[in-house]
Structure 1
């Protein structure tokens, strides 16, 4: 399991484990897409392998892929590990809005018994922000009276939204964005068939959160950005550029690029505002563009009309 960057966080956690002063619950916070979930999975595997033996050697959370625990973990059949995340709810694999209380309740039979392979058990929730209120209350009971040997790893992108009583029972471990070099390594590992140009583009988009950039893979974001930038710099008095882009981004086959446009176009207006010059006017354009983009997919707005309208706001930057 590849984990890039976050050396300080790894050392903090390892030190706690090796000193036998390991807190029973850890709240892993930071921007979405920086690798908190990957860190948690790697830490869970390392702890379980260490507890069951033979103890992993080497730095960080390295575990030999041939380790008996690694086989069970990767197969999703380790009896002392549970991961809770939003489930898919239909054939289109759309994720449910939350982690339900029923999912939290599935932990109780496991807690009623002793760990199977060692004295250690790990529960990972990614992300704990997604818990239903009733599920959060059920989890709180386990945090208040933690089952023997159980470590909770709670990933959170927005810890301020959590119950204060959950936060107070956890040790906080903060994650920052990655350096570009580490972001590029994450993207290369996740997208081995992508060329260097796409990796460079996605690294720039990631801004230290490569998990956020993965959804843009294979969409020729560089080409899309060039089209957006041209309209923003040159304007589009005839409307032909906007019409061409609108046609390219309409239809089911173009849905992913259309959604990428809805994210990238307001960002281009925001970048222009940061450059100065009529900041108030540019902020007004950004507000309009962001409002359209936020509701476009949810309200099933016509993609061609939507792209033409948002591109028209981009064109006003040139005027």
Structure 2
């Protein structure tokens, strides 16, 4: 697995591996969609594969093609490996939807791993993706594991907002920072994941995704570029007859448009932040103030199930104020 744009993080982890003193808990911190989850899975494969043998002389976190341990980790069937992430509801009206949190029962089940003798080597690896989804009781249960870690155990904890985690959890981890991806890495990921996109279409998406490959892929799949252009038109030229705001509200208010609506809420604040950086004088001040309002509204709306059409009209009004 190729992890683009995170050479420093890979080098730091490899240095710890090669020293023979691998810290038991790593907090993988950085923006959403820049490769933290992929890094965690690659690190788990490499640690477990090297421990079981044969050891690899490949660089970074790569494992030789066909390695039996890598196949078991990828399939989720390695007995010394656990991956905790939000699970699907299995019954009722929410069947198939993801739960809101990683639960305490999942953490307790993970803890049971350490009551058993390891199967292929003396190492056991657990990934939580993401720590931001951990409910409070689950975080406290995890803390107990981190306070008295079993020997040869490795916890890889993905977090998009590490400042919100329990300080006691942060203090027991070695932090590894991940940065937003550069345009070259983003373009390569888009070309691999969305081969039907032209170079011009990829270039339109890059500034919208703010260095997040996951966001860029999602925006491509949802065809968000036309919505972004409409938003930019409101920012730069206003909307004196309300027509632009009305078009956005109409296109995003339908139930079938829910994924595009959610993605648009993510798109707007960084779009305005980028506009603020390009602006000067009073317009820059208006854009900065609009960014704060838009971010608050975009965060508040889904949590409180606000009407999508009204929310889009509110966002459009805030953006129109930037044009002056």
TM-score interval (norm. to shorter) = 0.7 to 0.9
Return 251-260 or 293-302, whichever deviates more. Answer: 293-302
CA contact under 8 A between 2:29 and 2:158: conserved in structure 1?
yes
Structure 2 residues not aligned, in runs of 5+ = none
Deviation string for 1:98-153 (max 9, x for gaps)?
A: 22111111123321122101121111112223322322222222222222321111
Q: Would you say 1:33 and 2:33 are equivalent positions?
A: yes
Return 45-54 or 131-140, whichever deviates more. Answer: 131-140
Return 181-190 or 99-108, whichever deviates more. Answer: 181-190
2:150 paired residue number: 147
2:257 paired residue number: 254
Residues 195 and 152 of structure 1: is their aligned pair in 2 closer, same or farther, counting only changes over 3 Å? same
User: TM-score, normalising length from structure 2?
Assistant: 0.86
User: TM-score, normalising length from structure 1?
Assistant: 0.87
Q: Distance in 2 between matches of 1:202 and 1:27?
A: 29
- Runs ≥4 residues deviating over 6 A: none
1:276 paired residue number: 280
Q: Would you say 1:241 and 2:235 are equivalent positions?
A: no
CA contact under 8 A between 1:34 and 1:175: conserved in structure 2?
yes
Residues 305 and 193 of structure 1: is their aligned pair in 2 closer, same or farther, counting only changes over 3 Å? same
Q: Distance in 2 between matches of 1:266 and 1:128?
A: 24
Return 134-143 or 80-89, whichever deviates more. Answer: 134-143
1:86 paired residue number: 86
Q: Distance in 2 between matches of 1:303 and 1:27?
A: 35
Deviation string for 1:42-82 (max 9, x for gaps)?
A: 01101111111122232111113311112211111011110
1:23 paired residue number: 23
Cα drift, residue 291 of structure 1:
4.7
Residues 162 and 225 of structure 1: is their aligned pair in 2 closer, same or farther, counting only changes over 3 Å? closer
1:314 paired residue number: 319
Cα drift, residue 272 of structure 1:
4.6
Q: Distance in 1 between matches of 2:110 and 2:267?
A: 41
Q: Would you say 1:205 and 2:198 are equivalent positions?
A: no
Q: Distance in 2 between matches of 1:126 and 1:298?
A: 21
Per residue, is there more helix in 1 or in 2?
Answer: 2
2:6 paired residue number: 6
Instruction: Say which SS state the counterpart of residue 221 (structure 2) adopts.
Output: coil
Once the two structures are superposed, the pairs formed by residues 1-319 of structure 1 within 5 Å of their partners are: 1-89=1-89, 91=94, 93-274=96-277, 275-278=279-282, 281-283=286-288, 285-286=290-291, 288-319=293-324
Instruction: Say which SS state the counterpart of residue 261 (structure 2) adopts.
Output: helix
